[in-house]
Structure formats: structure tokens, C-alpha cells
Amino acid sequence: MEARIYKPKRLRNGKRTIGRLYRARVKLTGDNKVRDIPLGVCDKQVAQQKLNKLIQELEHESAGLIPAKPERETAQSPLLDLVSEYVNELTILGRSADHLRHVRTRLHLLVRECRWTRLADVTPASFQSWRKEQTTKAPNGVPDMDEVRTDLEKAGIPFLDERGRRIDYHALRTTFITRLSTMKVHPRVAMELARHSDMRLTMKTYTDVGQLPLREVMDSLPGFGSDSRIDSRNLGPTGQTVSQPVTEKRELKTENTIANKGESHDLTAAVPVCHSEPESGGFGIRIPLSPPVFKSFPFVQMFGSGIVCINGTPNTASASLD
């Protein structure tokens, strides 16, 4: 262990000066660093006595016999000052003004009724003594939960339902806020009536989603009109309304129809080509022409099996494409 007193020395205007007050350097057994503590006295004997007392306190703290010095100093501070510091910390954390008001009012009331002046006065025995004196009911004659459970038992109403939910004051609050939601009350108004500081607490925790008119809202949505080609809401006897058949007749000229050649001849139906219908352009089935192969044959089309269609007429003769 290292312990000694000294007066600090420093250079001032090029001269070495010695401080007026003593300080102590202490390092107990097991400490990793030396503690430099001001003693605040200029007498050497008094400084040595304060050092001896300081060593004794540090050894007691290390052994767990007494609390640390900051805790001992806090225990001797006025309790209302500590309450003010706590409220200031809540303010820095961004708590709402309503929450700060509740904390300040209730703590001041508790300190006054328990007759606490310092933090050292706050003991479990003093708090329990104050609890025993609280024999009055809640404001406006609201019964406590023991009376509520007794009344529920007499009425034959279970305290827990099949989903494990309790019938308590929070359940009454949930019923109240859920009814506000079903009456289409604005969520901000419901939050204010519930005296909540967070919208999520009102809309998520204290709202029963199972009681909301979800199906009614979906049924009230407007349709897409009667001119829709696919009207999924108007169903026929066996499903959706069947589309009307095409009654327009169109005559195709199939005298120039080519035959299928190659594999699966008996499975594939003949494909009519080279008809002069408007949809086919009047010159057979069109395919992109890639120059310069068809540079001199603008109306030449080639098909499989070596068939060439020239100006709407099929021709099996070979054609030079030079």
C-alpha cells in the first residue's frame, strides 16, 4: 500500500512554487492506479490525520462494510433536491409534459406523507407503515380488484375468459377505446380521451381488433362499374358470367393451302396460308426481311419444306436469291 501527503509544486513565471494546501496520494493493495485526493488543509498534522481517516474509509469500502462515498453523500442530500434532479433527467430524455407532471406530483406527495427529508430516511419499514395508513378507497368510490373479483364470482362471470384475458380495469379501458374506434372517432381524439402519450398504446394495446368492422368496410367499397369486361362480383349459376359467343362469320380462301410435311403428318392439321384477308396483309404471312438476302425480292416469303410464296401464290420451285 502507498500513502503519503505532499504539497504540489509547479513552475510559475519561470520560478518553482509550492502549493499552500496538502494533497494525498493513496494506492491500496490490489488497486491498479494511484488516487490523488485533495485534503484542503495547510497544516501537516491535520493533513496526516485526514489521510489516516481516508485510508480507513477506503479499506472499509473495499471490504463492503460501508457504501461508497458518493452513495453516502447522496444519502445525506435533501430528498426533494434528488426528486428535482430525477425530473430533469426525464426532461432530457424527452418525456411528455403530462408524464413529468404526474411523476413530480406523486413523488412530492409520497415524500410529504411519509415524512422523508433525506434519502437515508427512505426505508422499507417507513414505506410499509405509510401503506397501512392508506385505508380509503380510490377516488370517486371506485372499488379495488378484490371487490371486483368478488362481484364477478357472485354474478357467475369468470375472471379469465377462454383466451386467458382478464376482466379488470384495463379490460374496461380496452372496451372503451374499442367502442370509440367502431364509432369512427379520430385516433387522436381517442388517445386524448384515454390520456395516453403514445398513439401505439391506444391503437394497438387497448384496441380489440376482433371487434372492428373489417368485413363491413370491405363490402362498402365501390365497384368498378357495369361496363367492366370481367365483372367478378356478378356470378352466373356455375361461376362467372360466360362471355358471349362470336356470331360474325368469315369465309377463308383455302384453295392455296399448303400441306404439312415432315414428322407427325397425321397429327397436325393443315395451316391455311397465302389467303388475301386484311389481317394477313394480302401477301401471305409476313416475316421480317433481313437484307441483303431479299434485297431484290421484296414480296418473297420462305416457309419450311422449301415452299416459297411469291405475291400471295405458293410456289414449290426453287428460286435463286442471288
Q: How confident is the model at residue 176 (pLDDT cuts 50, 70, 90)?
A: very high
How far is Cα 42 from Cα 20, in angstroms, rounded to an integer?
A: 6
Inside any domain, residue 222: no
| Backbone CA torsion sign across 81, 83, 86, 91 | negative
Q: What is the pLDDT of residue 240?
A: 54
Query: Could you tell me if 171 and 145 are in contact, meaning their C-beta atoms sit under 8 angstroms apart?
Result: no
Is residue 300 a part of any domain in this protein?
Answer: yes
**Does residue 141 carry a pLDDT above 80?**
no
Tell me: pLDDT of 259 over 70: no
Number of domains in the chain: 4
**Which segment of 31-45, 106-120, 186-200, 253-267 scores lowest on mean pLDDT?**
253-267
> 22, 41 in Cβ contact below 8 A?
yes
154, part of any domain: no
User: Which residues in 34-62 are b (16+ Cβ under 10 Å) and which e?
Assistant: eeeeebebeeeeebbebbeebeeebeebe
User: Torsion angle of alpha carbons 107, 110, 113, 114, nearest 10°?
Assistant: -120
Residue 261 confidence (pLDDT) above 70: no
199 inside domain: yes
DSSP assigned state of 98: H
pTM for this one? 0.33
Alpha helices, H only, the chain: 44-63, 69-75, 79-92, 97-113, 124-133, 145-155, 169-182, 187-193, 199-200, 214-219
Instruction: For residues 224-238, give the mean pLDDT.
Output: 56
Pick from 50-54, 92-96, 144-148, 258-262: least confident: 258-262
What's the confidence (pLDDT) of residue 254? 54
For residues 62 and 83, membership in a common domain is answered with no
pLDDT band for position 180 (50/70/90)?
very high
Residue whose entry in the numeric block shows the C-alpha cell 379488470: 168
Lowest mean pLDDT among 28-32, 117-121, 284-288: 284-288
Between 91 and 223, the more confident residue is 91
Q: Is residue 246 part of a domain?
A: no
Which comes out higher in pLDDT, residue 162 or 259? 162
Flag whether pLDDT at 318 surpasses 50. no
46/85 same-domain check: no
Letter string b/e over residues 260-292, b meaning 16 or more CB atoms within 10 A of that residue's CB: eeeeeeeeeeeeebbbeeeebeebbeeeeeeee
Which amino acid would we find at residue 280? S
Omega of the bond leading into 292 within 30 degrees of 0 (cis): yes
Say what the pLDDT of residue 139 is: 57
Same domain, 98 and 46: no
Q: Strand ranges (DSSP E) for 181-238?
A: 235-236
Residues 61 and 21 in one domain: yes
In this structure, the answer to whether residues 54 and 92 fall within a common structural domain is: no
What value does the mean pLDDT of the chain take? 76
Contact assessment for residue 2 and residue 35, using Cβ atoms and an 8 Å cutoff: no
Of 134-143, 144-153, 236-245, the poorest mean pLDDT is in 236-245
Write out the DSSP string of 138-161: -GGG---HHHHHHHHHHHT--SB-
Residue 263's pLDDT is what?
Answer: 52
Backbone dihedral angles phi then psi of residue 144, each to the nearest 5 degrees: -80, 175
Residue 258 lies in a domain: no
Residues 205-218, mean pLDDT to the nearest whole number: 88
Pick from 72, 104, 106, 73: nearest CA to 86: 104
- Are 100 and 61 in the same domain? no
Contact 73, 115 (CB under 8 A): no
Residue 91 confidence class, pLDDT cut points 50, 70, 90:
very high
Using the predicted structure, report yes or no on whether residue 206 has a pLDDT greater than 70: yes
Sequence-distant (≥ 6) Cβ neighbours of residue 34 within 8 angstroms: 2, 25, 26, 27
Residue carrying C-alpha cell 453516502: 72
Q: Is residue 213 part of a domain?
A: yes
Q: Mean of the pLDDT values across residues 137-153?
A: 77
Residue 222 is predicted with a pLDDT of 86
Range of the domain at 287: 278-315
**Confidence band of 317 (pLDDT split at 50, 70, 90):** very low
Task: Let me know if residue 23 belongs to a domain.
Answer: yes
Using CA atoms of 136, 137, 139, 140 in order, give the dihedral in degrees to the nearest 10: -120
Which DSSP category does 240 fall into? E
